[in-house]
A and B are shown apart, each in its own frame.
Chain A
């Protein structure tokens, strides 16, 4: 009873609180964003991740120079279209490589690591360095403490992964010439869309972990391996982030005729029915989940005792 009453009181406070937050955001957000971004950029792990992202790009460049001489060119309506020695369209071959699991899996695994590293740098470090105690003696709300770090984290994560995939796209498609690059931009934009929602979702998940657990890294890895890798292929996959990301991908991939089906994305239940979520609903679900996660994380910060 007491809890319900308190929750109701909390809820009734929300509009007033949001107003206060909005009013002071111009003073609170910039310094937090600036500092968070700086901390993420001077973190060594960030640069290791960037290096990992650059490796396949480098590979793309090497392959480009090795296969350069075998290409054949045909002019169609002023566009240069490239074929390989067997007479297949290079850009079709390449885009399959790009969209195919090899590169995707790298980006997805790296994304999870980025989310864990960033969230623990932004929040766990503040506990370790005890600056959280100082922050908690300032008049800002714990939701603000978390929110602005989260937003900066999402921006940085999406920025790094996004730039990484653009570069990867470019280096992979290079040998198919300008025509090939332009032809498949929709694949790239799908990739960016998925990365954005992935950033939003995973940063939120790991923010909760860093607030509530002493060893967020370990918990994060276990969560990902068990929940997002195994449960996400089973009947209750709608409880996982992966399901919604896959749904977004599946829908667009259908339109692009990439030759993938629901089974490829594990979007089927044990009786073989397709259980993909509408992409718009999937996006909405992710955003609502993120807001809930932030609220939950903020409560964790507020109730934390030192």
Chain B
């Protein structure tokens, strides 16, 4: 538990963070950052106990911090250094030798697919490159767990995809555990193995991502060309009501024969069938249900 004056940031918050890549979701002020700061040892809990990687946090803060990497959300990198200089310095701060830090820096930047840019001044970097340097800084001391706070914020679609691929690759290469806090639910869908949802300082849900998005809904979305009216009329003959939301038609799913009836209706109405899919639950809908 953590209390700021009268404000309770985390309330009776017990969690056992699973292995792999874990997404942390929740509205602003839900207690996500407090949780993370406590786990990093930047704040101490008002009451309760935290064990990180099998060690009690209160005792071995320094030791534990060696095992944790942190990529903060805000910009916190010096502009007047080159990427390589900055990372080597960060490596030496965490106790590496100059040659060790240099080697490690180039290794990481290689993984992050930073080319010659790494010898340029950070002030000349694009948003995506700055994010990469921030990520590299969190990884320099080869931590066992790395915490990423909004790693894709402000990135354009390509830079964002590259960042997500990098995070995915990270665990393949080094087995580092990843805690990912984000506002973009699709990031979690794309990267994480499991997800934690936090609201009002309480844990609301902890679940496998595959389980969540694998769950099917009872609606089929259809997109057709030709005359929508004819198609809807054909469906009506089969006692199926289709709802038009302007972009797709939504048909209730009864059983697998519904598919055949849709196919039949498209043939009879001479409409080309572009898309037909029984929708599954998305992170969006789960999030809405839990957080509301």
Do A and B touch directly, given a CB cutoff of 8 Å in the complex?
no
